[in-house]
Chains A and B, each alone.
Chain A
Amino acid sequence: MPCVAPDGKPTSSGMATLKSLKDGASTPEEVAGKTGQPLFRVRSGLRELKNAGFVEEIEGKYSLSKNGETAIQ
């Protein structure tokens, strides 16, 4: 998986996505702009991070969950 490793931890691109959310990005387009990842990978990655509990989503806007905050500390 591109954003979450088999051990359940965020990969390097997962971490980049989480950090971009901490830096104020909230839409996939903004995350793609901050991380330089292609938009299709960002959408897929955000879905994985959400399923793994690192990210929360409300109506297409993403933010860090408590687990996400912990992961990037």
Chain B
Amino acid sequence: MSEVQKPEIRFPILGQKAPDFEALTTQGTLRLSDYKGTWLILFSHPADFTPVCTTEFMAFAKIYDDLKKRNTELLGLSVDSVSSHIAWIKNVEEKMGVKLTFPIIADLNKEVAHKFGMIHPEQSKTETVRCTFVIDPESKIRAMIYYPLTTGRNMNEILRLIDALQTTDKNKVATPANWKPGDPVVVPPPATIEQAEARLKEGYDCKDWYLCMKKLPEGQ
């Protein structure tokens, strides 16, 4: 008896260019490259007209203005059709009073889903799991979060992640556990003995040579 051939599952890699695509969406045909110059949150959900997804989409809609202030766009995806997306968008507005104004990809042939490793067969062989990709203005994948079908995402964490990545880029620093804007940031660790010895005299708040923090000027 021959073994059943399982489809190859490909996952993007942090720091790599996100695979480009052209996809039908609720706002026309979009390419990933249309987002060049802006940050993008590309996120998948299992299916339209399902409860956890509906709560997530309303939550994404709630933070959309906050994301736009951070030069960040939203692009949803599921393997449903454009007609299904439109019916769901209208239903959410009518029944829940929330307008979903960001585009949603209708990935019926799963082309985008496979490029981004969004289908995890142990969760569902046909639906996408709850993936979130943060893609920077140069189209590089900067962060990925995968949640199972049962668990809705946390929008505060998504905003925090964008803030952290943008702060890192702007100030060449890292951000510690549970960091939020305004908190001290981590100074990159020294790379040589000489730098390590100098580090303690550089005026940072150092617990030791490898763990030094500093406050950024307001608004940075």
Contacts and interface: CB of A to CB of B under 8 A. Distances in A.
B102 to A, nearest CB: 9
A64 interface: no
Nearest to B37: A39
B8 interface: no
B176 interface: no
Interface residues of A, number: 13
Interface in B23-38: 27-31, 33-35, 37-38
A68 to B, nearest CB: 18
Interface residues of B, number: 11
Interface in B4-55: 27-31, 33-35, 37-38
B136 interface: no
Contacts, number: 33
* Chain B interface, >50% SS class: mixed
Given A39-B37, A39-B38, A40-B38, A45 B30 contact: no
A44 B73 contact: no
Contacts of A3: 28
Contact of B28 (A1, A29, A38): A1
24 contacts: A2-B27, A2-B28, A3-B28, A29-B37, A38-B38, A38-B73, A39-B34, A39-B37, A39-B38, A40-B30, A40-B34, A40-B38, A40-B73, A41-B27, A41-B28, A43-B33, A44-B27, A44-B28, A44-B29, A44-B31, A44-B34, A45-B28, A47-B29, A48-B28
